[in-house]
Structure 1
Amino acid sequence: MRALSLAGLACLACAGTALAAQPATVRLDYIHSGNALSEHYAMDRVVIEPLPWPGDMTRTLDDTDRGINKVEVVDAKTGRLLYSRGFSTVFGEWKTTDEAAKATRAFGESVRFPKPDAPVKVRILKRDERNQFSIVWTAEVDTDALDVVRRQPPAPARPVPIRVSGASPQKVDLLILGDGYTRAELKKFEQTAKRLADYLFTVSPFKERAQDFNVWGLAVPTEESGVSRPSTDTHHASALNTRYDIFGSERYVLTTDNRALRDIAQHAPYEFIEILVNNDTYGGGGIYGQFSTAAANNDWANYLFVHEFGHHFAGLADEYYTSPVAYQASAGRPEPWEPNVTALHDPANVKWRHFVKPGTPLPTPWPKDEYEAHSREYQKVRAQLRKDNRPEAEMSKLFADDLAWTGRLFSKAPHAHAVGAFEGANYEAKGYYRSQQQCLMFDRSEAFCAVCAEAVGQTIDLYSRPARK
């Protein structure tokens, strides 16, 4: 990226000084392979990253109980738990697709943790059918072993400070990566990253907790502008290999090149990553504890940035259910681990009961039939616009018209602002419920529901000092 300003260099210098007393950052890269019926793990390498551990050493254990998986680092001799974090994976999503029933694939993954003083066991846990974690893989790691990678090539780009609120160990460090930006477009990336970060902090509870965040930007320039979109025969080489059409969904944007992602991200302090792709076409994605993506040039980039970050940052589920997705429905209706959706097996003890006012019916009535009838017609128009490769402005207008129609419908509903249990969520019309009628995890509205806002706040607390009352 372009040369840093003196102010930017000062910010980085201050951050480096604050991190100097921190332990090193260890990264375990491994291969996660399998299919719909089985999965396997194999160690790839252990890396000492260039920057010290960015997190608070007094908050090394995760108490949020989120994610399909969890990593635990335990002292090999005593068994003492040193570090834990919940997370989900691209493999975990792919495993629920049609392809996984017919093929076996491998995905690169990583877990990061502060360098221990002695050999450790790194355990990967997975939720079982009872929603409880059990160990599925253990790797013995000696971070002082001869085969640990300690020196790496110089950074391909330097991070730019976008918002620096204080020392990294007491802040949430968000790294915004750019993909598909040419050298001539790096200034554009910086401006876009700042604009979207600024928007994030207008949305509650990020707004009230803005001082608990540091935000950094970093982009490795590419030869061509934009990332690949195979469904339109657009193929570009980019630093992170981010692309559209993941799992056959034209709007789903991810990278499956974990090595490229981690080797670039390691040159900035980070706990969370959002990738901005330099494209106009609507799209994005988010994996809890891994990264999120957003089409930076789309008319709905603000919404995409926050919605997808909600998945990555707080483990929020999608609350919509009328848009096509690649995932296959589960045979039953197990209780989701995500904080904002439920199977409502026990209405009296719904997970967000502290928000439910006495007398609110569970399930909670809403104009579901009318909404679904409208949505069926809307989805037909949406699919036709994509099939005909119409200008993106037409898709943006369709989204705006749909949101306006939904707003009018919901405003007349008797439980428009209540917290209850509204059927239709988690990609399913029946059997899963969301907490409120409208939320930016349900449609393209601008606010989180109370349950999602609480979940976001809990994650902020895990990585920073709690907000002062």
Structure 2
Amino acid sequence: MKKIVTIIICCFLLINAKAQNFNDYFINKTLRVDYIFSGTASQQNVSVEELSQLSEWAGRRYHLAQLPLEGNGQISMNDIKTGACIYKTSFSTLFQEWLDTDEAKTLNRAFENTYLLPYPKQPVEITVSFRDKKGNYNPILKHQVNPSDILIKKLENTHVTPHTYLVKNGSPEDCIDVAILAEGYTPGEMNLFLEDARKTCEALFAHQPFSAMKKRFNIVAVQSPSKDSGVSAPKNGIWKNTAFGSHFDSFYSDRYLTSSNLKDIHNSLAGIPYEHIIILANTDQYGGGGIYNSFTLTTAHHKFFRPVVVHEFGHSFAGLADEYYYEEDLFNGIYPFDVEPWEQNITTKVDFASKWKDMVEQGTAKLVEGGGYSFKNIYRGAEDCRMKTNTCPGFCPVCQRAITRLIDFYTRP
């Protein structure tokens, strides 16, 4: 019996190892899937809106069937012929944030979401799953994709938005590709946008570990034009016609600057290799937002622009949680105290061993109560950090290690 079990395990490992070989299952193109996430706090739905093919794959070519982070949702791709999982990715969404609002208890709303997947050689089944409050991942949609489907839109020869590389360290295959987009900049303001994009690069690479690992990044500034200058501020009665329709007051929070126009964002990037997105808003009003594996959106002309854009990129790129909190526990319930958060920089101590317990034992980090918006029962790794305040000079050791591990995951076998 022991020999049979050993043979089964070995066969499983061989199948899993094979799934890690990019060329076995994929060609050097991208499958872009546009979804509609809809529903209420009690019932969610996912629908396929459109499939597109992009000219090349800029994402990772290693650890294909592994997740970098668990996220609030996950996408898995299985080869139909063999049943093998050949790719996984994770995400968070504005829709899932909205599910925690009072409005979601009674109103049914829909949100656009777009994801980039490696283009399969053979038919695949794609599963989209959401994480519930207990930390379980529940399949919401399964759908099949035939790569030879004639209705998959070819975006290879579409108009390519003018763009300029600010950091170019290698091919998309070897580097993490970050696109910086203009929001609320008219065609006559593109020189201002390029200056703001350069400041973004300076701010990002002034922080460790991005500074030490700069050679693993490509940064491209994409000159996406808007008809109006500035962005919408509904509380002030201001509505602008901009490239991505972003606005303050998301979920009635004054400083929360977001965009629901995910298709417009990704359409502006067709023909440009990219994995992660930073959007700069042409305004001096304070605010921003960062959503894991979706986008960073922040104002470019406020005095705290530099620390804020890095903070929000900590969310969208590295999936880091906010480390600030409110003594009134205004957001109590977003992180249940009996479930370990998937974000690597906060803990409820339910599974602290999987976080930075080893760093506490080594004396390189702490366990400080307060984080994830809660005054009690959620802990962070330092008194201060870029994920807590705008005045802290950098990321704490816990966040630095989390970012380093993620960069390695994307760029190293």
> TM-score, structure 1 length as denominator?
0.78
Q: Please name the residue that 1:449 is paired with.
A: 396
Q: Please name the residue that 1:463 is paired with.
A: 410
Distance apart, 1:328 and its partner CA: 6.0
Q: Kindly report the root-mean-square deviation, in angstroms, between the aligned alpha carbons of the 2 structures.
A: 2.1
Are 2:62 and 1:31 aligned?
no
Are 2:67 and 1:120 aligned?
no
Which residue type is aligned with residue 262 of structure 1?
Answer: H
Query: Contact 2:158/2:271 (CA < 8 Å) preserved in 1?
Result: no
Structure 1 345/89 Cα, relative in aligned 2: closer, same or farther at 3 Å?
A: same
Distance apart, 1:292 and its partner CA: 0.7
Distance apart, 1:419 and its partner CA: 2.1
> What is the CA–CA distance in structure 2 between the aligned matches of 1:346 and 1:55, rounded to whole Å?
30
**Equivalent residue in structure 2 for 1:214, among 218, 243, 256:** 218
Q: Please name the residue that 1:53 is paired with.
A: 57
Structure 1 431/450 Cα, relative in aligned 2: closer, same or farther at 3 Å?
A: same
Distance apart, 1:170 and its partner CA: 0.8
Query: Which deviations, in whole Å up to 9, do the C-alpha atoms of 1:250-277 show, x marking residues without a partner?
Result: 1111110111111112232111001000
Distance apart, 1:222 and its partner CA: 1.6
Which residue type is aligned with residue 251 of structure 1?
Answer: R
Are 2:192 and 1:177 aligned?
no
SS of 2:317's partner is helix
Distance apart, 1:199 and its partner CA: 1.8
Query: Contact 2:332/2:373 (CA < 8 Å) preserved in 1?
Result: no
Which residue type is aligned with residue 430 of structure 1?
Answer: K
**Equivalent residue in structure 2 for 1:316, among 295, 317, 320:** 320
Q: Please name the residue that 2:200 is paired with.
A: 196
Alignment of 1:351-362 (within 5 A): 351-357=355-361
> TM-score, structure 2 length as denominator?
0.88
Which residue type is aligned with residue 338 of structure 1?
Answer: E
Structure 1 305/275 Cα, relative in aligned 2: closer, same or farther at 3 Å?
A: same
Alignment of 1:357-436 (within 5 A): 357=361, 419-436=365-382
Query: Which deviations, in whole Å up to 9, do the C-alpha atoms of 1:71-94 show, x marking residues without a partner?
Result: 111112211111111111111111
Q: Please name the residue that 1:438 is paired with.
A: 384
Distance apart, 1:156 and its partner CA: 5.8
Which residue type is aligned with residue 402 of structure 2?
Answer: A
Which residue type is aligned with residue 431 of structure 1?
Answer: N
SS of 1:305's partner is helix
Are 2:306 and 1:279 aligned?
no
**Equivalent residue in structure 2 for 1:339, among 327, 337, 344:** 344
Query: Contact 1:247/1:326 (CA < 8 Å) preserved in 2?
Result: no
Are 2:96 and 1:96 aligned?
no
Alignment of 1:198-347 (within 5 A): 198-322=202-326, 329-330=333-334, 332-333=336-337, 334-345=339-350
Distance apart, 1:287 and its partner CA: 0.4
Distance apart, 1:327 and its partner CA: 5.3
Query: Contact 2:34/2:50 (CA < 8 Å) preserved in 1?
Result: yes
Distance apart, 1:323 and its partner CA: 9.1
Distance apart, 1:153 and its partner CA: 7.4
Query: Which deviations, in whole Å up to 9, do the C-alpha atoms of 1:421-455 show, x marking residues without a partner?
Result: 21111011111111111101011112111111111
Structure 1 240/346 Cα, relative in aligned 2: closer, same or farther at 3 Å?
A: closer
Distance apart, 1:166 and its partner CA: 0.7
Aligned residues: 386
> Once the two structures are aligned, what percentage of the paired residues are identical?
32
Distance apart, 1:146 and its partner CA: 2.1
Query: Contact 1:22/1:54 (CA < 8 Å) preserved in 2?
Result: no
Which residue type is aligned with residue 260 of structure 1?
Answer: D
Query: Contact 2:227/2:243 (CA < 8 Å) preserved in 1?
Result: no
Distance apart, 1:152 and its partner CA: 7.2
Unaligned runs of 5+ in 1: 1-20, 361-417
SS of 1:174's partner is strand
Unaligned runs of 5+ in 2: 1-25
Distance apart, 1:143 and its partner CA: 2.2
Query: Contact 2:340/2:347 (CA < 8 Å) preserved in 1?
Result: yes
